[in-house]
Amino acid sequence: MTTADFLTTLNILVAFLGVLFVALTVYEFFSLRQLRNDFRQFREDLASEHYRHQQASHKVIASYGVADYEMKIALLKQAIQIDASVFNGYNSLGYAYIGHGDFLKAADAFKSAIQLHPYDKAGYCDLAYAYSKLGDNALRDEYLAKAVEIDPTAESDIANDARFNLHTK
């Protein structure tokens, strides 16, 4: 191979690498543009989710000051409709139903709380309380045991909770 052939081959290789580099640059440019658009959409979705969560939280908090159980239930249902995962939404709805005397609906609300937050002892204790109000001590005890299984600190909470009167067993 002559020097001229070698330089020609080298020039072709460098040109090929240059074209490859340009192609890679164009690909990365469009990838970054799409990533920027995806990030913008993510930011908008997050802001929207945050806004809905704040709306729902305000309704839950407002329900604490409402004495009428029908109005309280309506307000809490609105909060859950806006954002089902709102903190204390289903638990508060369950207690509103208990105050209204509808223990079956209270149990359903507490079950929904457990579905959303399966590792929170409060939902299990609340459901146990609803079953206690229904007179179903077997289910009450089952859910209290589940609360302790989820969080062992629940044992002392339950022992000090007058709603359960477990010391009379």
Read off the pLDDT of residues 105-131 as tens digits, 9 standing for 90 and up.
Answer: 999 999 999 999 999 999 999 999 999
Round to whole Å and give the CA distance between 95 and 59.
15
Say how many domains are in the chain.
1
Question: For position 96, which CATH number holds?
Answer: 1.25.40.10
Round to whole Å and give the CA distance between 160 and 169.
15
According to DSSP, residue 66 is labeled -
What is the model's pLDDT at position 169?
44
Q: Give residue 158's Cα distance to chain centre.
A: 26
Identity of the amino acid at 18: G
pTM for the model stands at 0.78
Round to whole Å and give the CA distance between 88 and 146.
19
Structure-block tokens of residue 130 = 């609803």
Identity of the amino acid at 31: S
What is the model's pLDDT at position 166?
61
Domain interval for residue 43: 3-168
Residue numbers in the chain where pLDDT is lower than 50: 168-169
